[in-house]
Structure formats: C-alpha cells, structure tokens
A = this chain, B = another copy of it.
Amino acid sequence: MDFLNNYLIYLIPVIGLIGILAMAVKAAWVTKQDAGDGDMAQLAGYIADGAMAFLRAEWKVLGYFVVVAGVLLAWSGTTVATSSPVIAISFLIGAFLSAFAGFLGMRIATKANVRTTQAARSSLAKALKVSFTGGTVMGLGVAGLAIIGLGSLFIVFYTIYVKNVAGSTVNGEDMAKALDVLAGFSLGAESIALFARVGGGIYTKAADVGADLVGKVEAGIPEDDVRNPATIADNVGDNVGDVAGMGADLFGSYVATMLATMVLGREIVSHDAFGGIAPILLPMVIAGLGLIFSIVGAAFVKIKNETDSVQKALNMGNWASIILTAIATYFVVQWMLPAGEFHMVRDEDANHVIKSGIIPFTKDGVFMSIVVGLIVGTLMSIITEYYTAMGKRPVLSIIRQSSTGHATNIIGGLAVGMESTVLPILVLASGIYGSYHFAGLYGVAIAAAGMMATTAMQLAIDAFGPIADNAGGIAEMSRLPEEVRHRTDNLDAVGNTTAATGKGFAIASAALTSLALFAAFVGVAGIEHIDIYKADVLAGLFVGGMIPFIFSALCISAVGRAAMAMVEEVRRQFREIPGIMEYKAKPEYEKCVAISTKASIREMVAPGLIALITPIIIGFAFGPEVLGGLLAGVTVSGVLMGIFQSNAGGAWDNAKKSFEKGVEINGEIHYKKSEPHKASVTGDTVGDPFKDTSGPSMNILIKLMSIVSLVIAPHLNHLVDTSPRIQREIHRQSLNTHVVIKTDKKL
C-alpha cells in the first residue's frame, strides 16, 4: 500500500495508456471486418475523403490560431509571478491532443460505417457490435489521451515547481503556478473543441438542410439517395460534426472538470499519505476508474437475436460502468482522503481562523457530492429523453399542432423547448445546492468530475449513433435489400435517442464544470465576492447573458447561409448535368463537400473569437469581479439556451419521424407526404441547426469562457479593488494630496 501511495501519481498516465491499448485492440478489430463490395467501398471512400478534407482545412486555420495564441500565452506567462511561459507548451499539447482525439475517432468512424452496413447484411447483433466498437474506439481514445496528457503534465509541473523546490508547500504559490500552467492544457483542448464543434456543426447542418430542401422537398427523392449531389456532404457531416466535434467537446469537458477540481483541491489542507495532494489527485484517479470500468461496461453491450432491444443493451453497459465506478470511487475516497474535517484555505481569515458561517466537510461528504453529480447526470438524461422521445406528451403536442400548418408546428416546438428548461434547471440548481452542502466548492467540482468519470462509455454510446446513421446512408445509396436498411434504421433510431440524452448529459456536465471553473477563478483572482448588487457587476451579468444569444445567432445564420449556397449548387447540378435523375450521370459530390467545408471554416471564426476575447477585454478593462458577473451571465443564459435549442430540435425531429409510421390527429391517420407531415419537416429543418450547431456549442462556450478567465486570473489579481468607484475615490484623493496606492492582496 505504501508503494501505491508513493507512486499513485505515476499510475494515472498508466491508466490512460491502458485505455489507449484497449482502443488499439478494438480499432484493429474494426479494421479487419469486411468492408463490403466495390460500390459500398467507393461511397465510403468518398465520405472518408470528404471528412479528411474538412479536418485538413480546419487544422490549417487552427494552426495559425494555435501559434498566435501560444505566442501570446508565452509572453503573458512572463508578466506575473504565478505563471510561466511554459503555459504555452501546455496549451499546444492540449490543442494537439484534442485535435488528435477527434482525428482518431473520425478515422475509425469512417471505417466502422461501411463495415456496419456490411455486418447488417448478416444480423443486427453483428451490426451493433461493429458500430458500437467503433464508438468505443472514440470513447477510449478521448479518455485515454486526456488522462495521459493531463496526468503526465501534472507530474512534470509538480516536479518542476513544487516537489523539487525547497520550502514550497502544496497549498502555496508554487502549486498555484503548477496548476496555472496546467490550465493551459485545458485552454488548448477547449479552444480546439469550440472550433471543432462550431465548424463541424455548421458543416453537418448546412449539408443536411441543403440536401433535404432540394432532395426531399423539391426533387421528391428519399434521404441518402445517391442521385442527390449533397448526400455525400451530408454523410461527411455526421462524421465531422457528431463524431469529431463531439469528441473534442467531451475531451474538453473531461479535462476542464479535472482541472477545476484540482485547482480547488489545492486550497484544501489535507494530511494524507500522498504528500498532501490527495484532493488534487482525486479527480484524475476517479477519471481513471471510470475509464477502466468503461472498458468493462463495453463488454455488456451485446444482443443475440434480431428482436433484442438495442437500447437495453446500451443501457446495460452504461449502468454497469456507472455503478462499478461509483462503488470503486467510494473505496478510493475512503483510502485517499484522511479522516477529519477539511475546509478551503480561502474560507480562513488572516489569522487562519475559519470564517463564521463556513463549515468544514469530511471525506464522506466528498463521496456524497460525487453521488449528487451522478444523480444530476442521470436525471438530466431522463428528462431530456422525455422531452424529445416519440410517443410522449411534448412530441405528441407538436404532432397535433402540425395539423394546422407550418406556423403552429413551429410555435409548438418553440414552446416545448422553452418549457423543457424547467426541470433540468431545478435539477441543476438542486445539484449545485446539494453538492455544495456536502463538500463546499470542492464538492461542486468533484460532483462534475464524478459525472464525467465514465466519459469513455458516454462517448462510445454517443459516437455509435452517427456511425449507424452513416451505415444506413451507405445502405440506401448502395440500394441494398430492405432488411439491411431495416437493421441500420433500428440502430439509427436508438442513436437518435442516445444523441438527445447525450446532449442533456453534456449540458449538465458543462454547467457543473463551469461552476467549478468559476469557483476556481474566484480563488485565483483573489476576490472575495461577486456582488451583483454592484452596478458594474450587474452590467457584466447583462452582457454575459447576451453572449449566448449572439453566439447562437451567428451559428444558425451561418447554417442558413451555407444551406442556401448548397441548395443553389444542387439545383445547378440537377439543371446542368443531364441524366442524374436516371442514375446515368454521377453528381459532382465534391463540389458540395467543398461548399460545406469552406462555409464552416469561414463561419466558425467569429463565434470562436467572441468566446475567446470577451473575457480578456472585460477582465482587463473592468477587473475580475465584473468578469465574474460576465461569467455568471454566460453560464446561466448558455445553459438555458443550450437546453432550449437542443430539446426543441430533438422534439421537432422526432415529431417528423413519427409520421413515418403514421400518426393520429383528431381521429385521422396522417402519413409521410401529408400536409401535417410537410409542416413537421419545416420544424425538423428549423431544429437542425438548433440541436446540432448552436445548442451543443453552448456547452463549450460557457466552459471556454470560464477557462480563459481562469488562465488570465493571475494577471487580474492586482486589479482587485480597482473597480471604477475605487478608481474615482483614488482620483479624488489624489486631487487633494498625493497618496500611494498599494495592493496588499495576495493569493
């Protein structure tokens, strides 16, 4: 046990390596599956090429960004004592690993898709196995790389700044510096995540909306028809948006959650067997446990017969990994954290007396906070499913409102989306309240870490969806027998549900992560309150609340513009290339791919820069307390807009899908192509950018702005107490007599 105590810190990246090894085994298995005949292979090749073309274009732009941001970070790292130019290296590694995780996931997804189609020719069980294994590769890759990266960098910085420095303490400025430099890793990861999510989201929906508007509505050909010039772009979109974009998103959340907990953990004086850093190591250890049990849980995901429930199999795997992780976490918490009471250093006054009104917490409290996190995550998924699932009241209400036309369908969906914010917010507010109750701010952070522990499994389930979707597309395009399409449709339907619940989970984790980062920011910036009763802080709250609105506006109007360009290109091809409709001529797929690629890369820049630059401007111009108000505004408004848009989109989508089997409205059965169905297609199209571009981007927006704030927090430290009022006071004083202003605030 002693040995373990001494080397636990080194074990963390090893667990990450185990994840990567498991990933390699699974990737090799997928690769060696049958990729089908020539037609299928050719179509899959187009999709894979299109996806890589997008990634290359994206990386080129991000390359410039990363270099510029890295130089700025390196320079800024030299300006304050609690940072270092090394932060730039940390940033670059984070950015690289995030991009690499997306690349790995997409590589395997574009192999797994056609292999799933081929597997679906024999059985549903086989098709599930191939598609889910493809998803697992993504999940293990993301989690493994994140743990290796964060774990190794922590060892390095801990060794450089703390362990080998005489007189340093784990709660002192040296550790603060190590963690500040480590925050660069998270900043790098989250920056890439934002661009990947927004770029991918614009790509996939521009292609999807464009393909639907001309293909389904104007030309009357089915979705994924090989004659539609935009169909390849549409399938590429599933990969770049739903696979690479989401992978980078969860990579970022996973890292940010651990980091925030570590930063808060520094403030806990812990007399443990790990040199006092148990509260800092704990989140990484929990993540490691989650990774291991995700590998175990993946083994539960299988079915035997054609009639077995795919959803049930996925739930089995999910629950297995969550429950096993929770049990193991209990023992790890008991082992790592010492008995007795903890409190955070910031809750002490100058004489090291705990301030009145603050209570310490115990290791049992820490475990309870983790349980709160798991409950919040589960409830959020359940609520999201209710609001977006077929056959439940919300979707049924939209179906009913489709009978009076396009407008009432839209009104119905918007109302459902707005209403769907109520329960998640109450759950989230209770979660904040509860996790804080059990272990203070550290509790809020570790709750998020608990929720994110099984990210590998969550992501496997999430990434399985677009692989199945692609497999169905390839089956349709290759005009394979009905039964094949039937099997892939079965998988795809489950994928739609998991996509919706995954979004609920992602927004909850992002909200808790942001709060943890927010709390960490307050500590690093050295402020004691964020008092919204001050006019300037309140002004910051307003501006922060507005940012998710302009961000969403930019995202959805980008999709609108790009989709219109796509529509015009498809119309042109139908007009100018004779024989497309008779399968005699091949459409110019690559032109549509190019339109989506170009538009998404161009349009991702503005929203990305808003997220990155706003906190910097506000922080330096108005000080950390106003920045705190801004962050609170962004977080509240971002969570609300995220839930609203994701759920409205999901509900519209399933309202439309319900028409495939026929729906009853006022005693009449309506099918596809009926007037109510046309109205439901309008809703689905409006919902597309909501649920796949702007909605899920809210997660990253709020996290990224919090991380940027955390990274600049040491620079703002000296700005504390120079709010306008005080500046004027100083000014007034200096008119009368010369006074020297000293700031004696320290971290």
A644 interfacial contact with B, CB 8 Å: yes
Q: Is the CB of B545 within 8 A of A415?
A: no
Q: How far is the CB of A138 from chain B (nearest CB, A)?
A: 30
Indicate if the CB atoms of A436 and B536 lie closer than 8 Å: yes
**Chain B residue nearest to A511 in the complex (CB):** B542
Distance to closest chain B CB from A110 (angstroms):
29
CA distance A728 to B358 in the complex (A): 9
Cβ of A432: which chain B residues have Cβ within 8 Å of it? 535, 538-539, 542
| CA–CA, A416 and B554, complex, Å | 10
Query: A436-B535, A640-B549 in contact; A415/B542 too (CB < 8 A)?
Result: no
Interface string of A420-459 (1 = CB under 8 A from B): 0110011011101100110001001000000000000000
> Any chain B CB within 8 A of the CB of A486?
no
Chain A 515-543 interface mask (CB, 8 Å, partner B; 1/0): 10011001000000111110110111111
Q: Do A433 and B725 have beta carbons less than 8 Å apart?
A: no
Render A371-406 as a binary contact track against B, CB cut-off 8 A, 1 for contact. Answer: 000000000000000000000000001000100111
**Chain B neighbourhood of A150, CB < 8 A:** none
Whether, in the assembled complex, A729 has its beta carbon less than 8 Å from a beta carbon of chain B, the answer is yes
Smallest CB separation, A731 vs chain B (Å): 9
- Per the 8 Å Cβ criterion, residues 538-594 of A in contact with B are 538-543, 545-546, 549-550, 552-554, 556-557, 559-560, 563-564, 567
- B729–A406 touching, CB < 8 Å: no
B356 touches A563 (CB 8 A): no
Q: Which residues of B contact A553 (CB under 8 A)?
A: 414-419
Contacts of A728 in B (CB 8 A): 359, 437
**A68 interfacial contact with B, CB 8 Å:** no
Stretch at the interface among A158-166, A629-637, A710-718: A629-637
Q: Is the CB of B636 within 8 A of A542?
A: yes
Instruction: Assess the A405–B531 pair: CB atoms within 8 A.
Output: no
Known contacts A633-B636, A726-B357; decide if A444 and B535 are in contact (CB<8 Å): yes
Given contacts A358-B725, A542-B428, A686-B410, contact A644 B549 (CB under 8 A): yes
Instruction: Find out whether the CB atom of B633 lies under 8 angstroms from the CB atom of A401.
Output: no
B522 touches A412 (CB 8 A): no
Partner of A542, one of B429, B529, B644: B429
Q: Shortest beta-carbon distance, A118 to chain B, in Å?
A: 35
- A730: nearest chain-B partner, CB-CB: B357
Q: A415-B557, A418-B550, A682-B682 are in contact. Are A425 and B538 (CB under 8 A)?
A: no
Measured CB to CB, the closest approach of chain B to A326, in angstroms, equals 23
Bound-state Cα–Cα, A532 to B522, Å? 11
Smallest CB separation, A598 vs chain B (Å)? 19
Cβ contact within 8 Å between A422 and B567: no
Interface: A596 (CB within 8 A) = no
Provide the bound-state CA to CA distance between A397 and B556, in Å: 13
A220 CA to B433 CA in the complex, in Å?
56
Chain B residues, Cβ within 8 Å of A729: 356-359
- Say yes or no: is A497 at the interface (Cβ < 8 Å to chain B): no
CA distance A353 to B637 in the complex (A): 39
A404–B567 CB distance below 8 A: yes
- Contact of B408 with A532 in the complex, beta carbons under 8 Å: no
Q: Name the one of B530, B564, B681 contacting A533, with C-beta atoms under 8 angstroms.
A: B530
Q: Given A357-B723, A359-B729, A411-B560, 4 more contacts at CB 8 Å?
A: A401-B560, A410-B410, A415-B560, A422-B550
Point out residues on A near B: beta carbons under 8 Å: 209, 213, 217, 356-359, 397, 401, 404-408, 410-412, 414-419, 421-422, 425-426, 428-430, 432-433, 436-437, 441, 444, 515, 518-519, 522, 529-533, 535-536, 538-543, 545-546, 549-550, 552-554, 556-557, 559-560, 563-564, 567, 628-629, 632-633, 636-637, 639-640, 644, 681-683, 685-686, 689, 721, 723-726, 728-729, 732
Question: Can you report 7 A-B residue pairs in the complex whose CB atoms are below 8 A from each other?
Answer: A358-B725, A359-B732, A419-B553, A421-B549, A422-B549, A433-B724, A637-B637
